[in-house]
Amino acid sequence: MLKRTVMTLICVFLFPLQSIAAMQCDAGLHHVKISGNVTTLNVSSTKQVGQICITMIRSANGREVFNDCGALIGKVVSADVQAGSSILKHTALFNMRDMLVTRNDHAQITGIQDVDEAGTPCEFDVVESINEVEKGAGIFRDSKMNVSASGTISFCPGNNLNLLTLHGEACVRK
């Protein structure tokens, strides 16, 4: 009996179950891996509009459960210029059935890519963390997320384009 218990413990530590490492999903939700990209334009210093494309693969069986592009609006709620960080809110609408609104998304500048003619930084490397779903519909109803977006944002003259790559996990409707 002791030998079997020891072997079981060894197996658990050497071969951890995927569900242990993954987000814990509530009943009625599936764990998925998220990948995708975001392309937006700055319409003001606090608002971006553009497109978000997301692919979600169900972790349990590798089946694709969502692959769509939709409209995205991002709004800066607050910013700490000294720290190079900001808090954002995003609204993504894929169709009338599938949409989500996030809150308290944290963006952090991690580097400078370009400066304007005066030498003022205007294009930045950035990493965003998206962890709170305020509201969702369709596949995103009652969802949870742990998603990172990394890429560049630009306010440079002649280059008003933000490009980010998404990766992470979520719990979404069946």
User: Is the pLDDT assigned to residue 148 strictly greater than 70?
Assistant: yes
User: Is the pLDDT assigned to residue 15 strictly greater than 90?
Assistant: no
> What is the β-pairing status of strands 99-115 and 85-93?
antiparallel
Number of H helices, E strands in the chain: 2, 9
Q: What's the alpha-carbon Rg for the chain, to the nearest Å?
A: 19
Closest CA to 66 of 79, 57, 74: 57
Instruction: Report pLDDT digits (tens) over 28-48.
Output: 999 999 999 999 999 998 999
Instruction: Report pLDDT digits (tens) over 105-138.
Output: 999 999 999 999 999 999 999 999 999 999 999 9
d(CA 74, CA 26): 28
**What pLDDT does residue 95 have?**
87
pTM of the predicted model as reported, rounded to 2 decimal places = 0.85
φ/ψ of 12, rounded to 5, equals: -65, -40
| Mean pLDDT value across the chain | 89
